[in-house]
Amino acid sequence: MRYAVIFLVLLTAACMGQESEQPQEVQPAPEEIIDSYFEGLNQRNLPELEDLTHSYFAEDAELLLDYVKNQNLTFEIVEISLLMKEEEFREMTKGLSDADFAEQIGKRGRSYEVIVTIITPDASYEEIFLFVELGETDDGWKVIEPSVLQLLIETSLEVARAGG
């Protein structure tokens, strides 16, 4: 009987300990953010894009989406690969003071190469190389500079349409 009481006390303590532990919210990996971003573009989902975009560049997300809608573009991601780690990214942005970096990027930044197929009403353009930059904020990884992504999409389409 004594062992049963001890067992119940230990079992109760273990259950109480588990209840008090709060599960940690797992932040999506940068690659998942990029995948969700292009899915948001495909679905024409501005709230999703704004949520995935760094607050410093929030207005650019709407401009990018407007361009994608006006051109009636759809994206299929072929591959996402890390192009620039945090140290290299900070070296590239060394012109930004620490305060500006924190405001515009966050804690750290990364750059990714994204190979996509861009589908237009007239044609499909394969193996288009784009670059997406992300900054890590208190809310997780966020896309930075959607205007640069838009410029890359525009330029890549121009070259692809010209046969280059």
Residue 105 belongs to some domain of the structure: yes
Q: What is the pTM of this model?
A: 0.82
CATH code of the domain containing 74: 3.10.450.100
Residue 22 belongs to some domain of the structure: no
Give phi and psi for 122, each to the nearest 5. Answer: -95, -30
Range of the domain at 86: 28-161
Residue 13 belongs to some domain of the structure: no
Query: Domain tally for the chain?
Result: 1
Residue 93: the pLDDT is 93
Residue 152 belongs to some domain of the structure: yes
Residue 5: the pLDDT is 43
Q: Which of 147 and 9 is assigned the larger pLDDT?
A: 147
Residue 130 belongs to some domain of the structure: yes
Residue 11 belongs to some domain of the structure: no
Please, what is the Cα angle at 79 between 76 and 81, to 5 degrees? 140
